[in-house]
Structure 1
Amino acid sequence: MANQLRGNDLRQLGFPEGRAIGLALAQLQRKHLKKLSQTDQLVLLKSLLADPSTYLTHLDWSHTAAALLPAPSRHIALTERKPYAVFGPEYIEQGAIHQMETAMKLPVTVAGALMPDAHHGYGLPIGGVLATDNAVIPYAVGVDIGCRMALSVFALPPRHLEQRVQEMRKLLLDNTRFGNRQGFQRGQKLDHAVLERDEFSNIAFLRNKQGTAAEQIGTSGSGNHFVEWGIVDILDPQNELGVPVGQYVGLLSHSGSRGLGASVANHYTKLAKDVCQLPSEAQHLAWLSLESEAGQEYWAAMNLAGDYASACHHQIHQRLAKALGERPLAKVENHHNFAWKERLADGREVVVHRKGATPASAGVLGVIPGSMTAPGFIVRGRGNADSLASASHGAGRAMSRTRAKQELSEAEVRRYLQQHGIELIGGGVDEAPQAYKDIHAVMQSQQELVDVLGTFTPRIVRMDGA
């Protein structure tokens, strides 16, 4: 076509060699732009070249504009490391320490803390807490956005579990789904208002995610996610649950936002890396300003994913309570892998990321699980300022998944579980109790962070797998 611009035409306008020329030419082939005269196309390109920053959110030209920005202005240097608190340092591997120290060098970092269950992750270590100035870091939130614990306490004695193992086992098999296999059948699905949220239509990236979210709602993920029956032991007579001291049957679940959260995390991490280019050791800590359109989008999508994760747990507990024929006496729910707008002790408003860390503001209740053969703890936060009002989200891994598979056999793990009276459905050697830290040592390291109200001891556990 005589009307078609070529690379040399763009070079004559002043376009630099590189991706911007190819991106611009490709855009001009779009139907509505192809109709423009060559003169109008040149006027448009001159405007883009003169001020690329004004086109960064333009539907047609955002990628070309980003490629036109001068490279030096897009690279961000790390600053001097800021101080941070470490709880239980003797239980934390060096890799997690190194990741936390890198995070404390970000220009947007204000404060941080490392929990005693901390171990190596992507970007911020798992067990890391990071406060930033008006910026959100998708990989400091984590891939499984809004992952959480949920506990229901029932007015049934522990012998109910001991005498009805097969019946309680079948309740888990019939009323839970795990991993990426098919969810509940059409007649078994439960509705939830979260699926009708405006974000699914208002945020372009989420418009094709509603179907998968509807398919997976009420299900649990793979890895360390579980639903389990166990024994709740209420220890504190002044507990906020309104449950008398004593032992009860409990239902505990751990899972997150499924495919919805993972897709949000990966999409916005890529966007963050495009606009926030950091040195290689910090590249997974790329952030989005909350003043930017992308930052606002991520914040809304993150909150949707968190609410979706909560809805999944509510449906899990609703199904099992109905199947059990009991109403819970009390419930406790808390989440990690999230970011909150909070104020520090000095009054500054910050964005607090808790990646694998439990909110522990004064009076806030939570559950910190151990392993399949160790108790979890029902806790009340103490609002410790040094920990940014946070606590551990579990025992934390002592072995990586790879190392656990190399060093532990399935027969050895099954024998260990049998010795501790644990009935396991599914699961793998990478989630063996031996792969986790000593929860009692972890709790000892955070006595100034939480008060213990009671414990939960697993008995019948279901995880992903046959």
Structure 2
Amino acid sequence: MGNKISGKDFIKLGFPKNNAINIALGQIQRYRKREKKESILNEAKEVLLEPEKFVGHGIWGKVAEGLTKPVEVRLQELKKTRSPFSIFGENEIDEQAKLQLYDALKLPISVKGALMPDAHSGYGLPIGGVLATDNAVIPYGVGVDIGCRMSLSVFDLPASFLKGKSHQLIQILQEHTKFGMKEVHRNKADHEIFERSIFNEIPILKNLKSKAYQQLGTSGGGNHFVEFGIIKLTEVKPEWNLQPGEYLAVLSHSGSRGLGANIAKHYTYLAGKQCPLPKQVQHLAWLDLNTHDGQEYWLAMNLAGDYAKACHDDIHRRLAKAIGKRVVFTIENHHNFAWKEMVDGFERIVHRKGATPASEGVLGIIPGSMTADGFIVEGLGNELSINSASHGAGRKLSRAKCKSTITKSFMNAQLKDAGIELIGGSVDEAPFAYKNIKTVMNLQTELVKVLGTFTPKIVRMDK
């Protein structure tokens, strides 16, 4: 008996001659190829005899599904007409972004869509796109950086605290924040998230756990940042225990690092295999939430979102400790995620790819650029926007365009004029690359109410 398992071995066990065998071989090749053939085949026999016992199992769950309720793979046809949609700030949005939304609205699973005023084209859904679907999740509708989010911590320290302390705060950011692919903290913090059983139950997560532990409390590259600045509160909530005024605050923007990126890659591949689509919308392949892979992605996506929060919590904890002051309150929100929400009376899967949740009373942060204020907002619950708002100012120049048209000296002059200290950063994140945040905010007064502003002063980004 050779050690390599073949389809014939499964046929001998009594497996039907269908795709269940291919699924089993794929799962074994991916996750069990170093184990003994005999023990794997013994387990496979158990799955064949009682597949219902293995529903949801990390490795055999997909095989059990293939035996009891196989996923039907067929070319999906687009609808002739679009699902209803709304666009906010249409004149500020490039045509390609609109076309991407129009294509997404023709998916058979789509029920409603919206485009925020900071929108621009991306892969799959446009950045700033919101899409509600019927019991299906689109990995690329969530995005590669699952759980990319904002977090704002406010200290009971007056804005004047910054005066004369910029050198000290620059040093704190340099020592206590880490960016990009290689930087990690020497002194690792532990976190309850690594105790969750799901890390061991889903094979891809088990393989990513060590990397996630290494990267806890770090930020990505690109437009991710950690910055000290001044928050100006014009309205306050009783639970904040602060009066209207100006205070020191820390604002961070980052996501789920390598954990989220690998989850996105894995399940996008699986979605593409199960849901063939015309070429122009192939990035919008979805997973039915009634399938094994759909359920598994949902669990993995939520873990990645919680991990992204854990990273921000660790960043803010380190900075508060370095300053020697306690955080009074924190406002935070995802803007790359999918939620189960009620839309027009039905539970739907709401994808926000670069969009801020803005249900009535929900708080969030909409950043500007390095030289422009961000805004602390409270959602107004506008159903036309599917309870969403912009996630920032939005790009007006692509990264490639920035590198070919903006010089470092021009960017530095902009920063100097605005009184901004920058650590790291590159020309593709120059303030000039972004739309005017005030214009964007004026285009969504029916979506959010402004409670205050955040003015960046010392900005740390990837090199």
What TM-score do the two structures reach when normalised by structure 1? 0.86
Q: Taking structure 1 as reference, are residues 58 and 420 closer, same or farther at Cα in structure 2, changes over 3 Å only?
A: closer
Q: Which runs of 4+ in 1 moved over 6 A?
A: 4-7, 33-36
Provide the residue aligned with 2:283 in structure 1: 284
Q: Give the C-alpha shift of residue 243 in structure 1.
A: 2.3
Paired amino acid for 2:348: V
Q: Give the C-alpha shift of residue 61 in structure 1.
A: 9.4
Q: Does 1:296 align with 2:295?
A: yes
**Residues of 1 paired with 2:61 and 2:290: CA distance?**
21
Q: SS at the partner of 1:329? A: strand
Q: Say which is worse superposed, 325-334 or 270-279, in terms of deviation.
A: 325-334
Q: SS at the partner of 1:361? A: coil
Q: Give the C-alpha shift of residue 172 in structure 1.
A: 0.4
Q: Taking structure 1 as reference, are residues 60 and 136 closer, same or farther at Cα in structure 2, changes over 3 Å only?
A: closer
The one-character-per-residue Cα deviations of 1:31-51 (angstroms, maximum 9, x if unpaired) are 738999xxxxxxxxxx9xxxx
Q: Map residues 30-45 of structure 1 onto 2, 5 A cutoff.
A: 32=37
Q: SS at the partner of 1:386? A: helix
Q: Taking structure 1 as reference, are residues 58 and 395 closer, same or farther at Cα in structure 2, changes over 3 Å only?
A: closer
* % identical equivalent positions: 55
Q: Map residues 56-455 of structure 1 onto 2, 5 A cutoff.
A: 59=60, 74-79=74-79, 80-185=81-186, 188-237=187-236, 241-344=240-343, 346-455=344-453
**Residues of 1 paired with 2:245 and 2:310: CA distance?**
29
Q: SS at the partner of 1:269? A: helix
Q: Give the C-alpha shift of residue 197 in structure 1.
A: 1.2
What TM-score do the two structures reach when normalised by structure 2? 0.87
The one-character-per-residue Cα deviations of 1:121-177 (angstroms, maximum 9, x if unpaired) are 111111011101000110000111011101111122222213111001001011100
Compute the RMSD of aligned alpha carbons. 3.3
Provide the residue aligned with 1:41 in structure 2: none
**Residues of 2 paired with 1:429 and 1:247: CA distance?**
30
**Residues of 2 paired with 1:382 and 1:310: CA distance?**
24
Asked whether the equivalents of residues 153 and 330 of structure 2 are also in contact (C-alpha less than 8 Å), the reply is yes
**Residues of 2 paired with 1:241 and 1:354: CA distance?**
28
Q: Taking structure 1 as reference, are residues 464 and 348 closer, same or farther at Cα in structure 2, changes over 3 Å only?
A: same
Q: Taking structure 1 as reference, are residues 102 and 212 closer, same or farther at Cα in structure 2, changes over 3 Å only?
A: same
Q: Give the C-alpha shift of residue 120 in structure 1.
A: 0.9
Provide the residue aligned with 2:455 in structure 1: 457
Larger Rg: 1
Q: SS at the partner of 2:223? A: coil
Asked whether the equivalents of residues 380 and 446 of structure 2 are also in contact (C-alpha less than 8 Å), the reply is yes
Q: SS at the partner of 1:74? A: coil
Paired amino acid for 1:208: N
**Residues of 2 paired with 1:120 and 1:379: CA distance?**
25
Q: Taking structure 1 as reference, are residues 78 and 35 closer, same or farther at Cα in structure 2, changes over 3 Å only?
A: closer
**Alignment size in residue pairs:** 437
Asked whether the equivalents of residues 153 and 251 of structure 2 are also in contact (C-alpha less than 8 Å), the reply is yes
Q: Give the C-alpha shift of residue 237 in structure 1.
A: 4.9
Provide the residue aligned with 2:44 in structure 1: none
Asked whether the equivalents of residues 362 and 383 of structure 1 are also in contact (C-alpha less than 8 Å), the reply is yes
Asked whether the equivalents of residues 381 and 451 of structure 1 are also in contact (C-alpha less than 8 Å), the reply is yes
Paired amino acid for 2:37: H
**Residues of 2 paired with 1:191 and 1:6: CA distance?**
44
Q: Give the C-alpha shift of residue 415 in structure 1.
A: 1.4
Q: Taking structure 1 as reference, are residues 146 and 237 closer, same or farther at Cα in structure 2, changes over 3 Å only?
A: closer
Structure 2's unaligned 5+ residue stretches are 42-47, 49-54
Structure 1's unaligned 5+ residue stretches are 37-46, 48-53
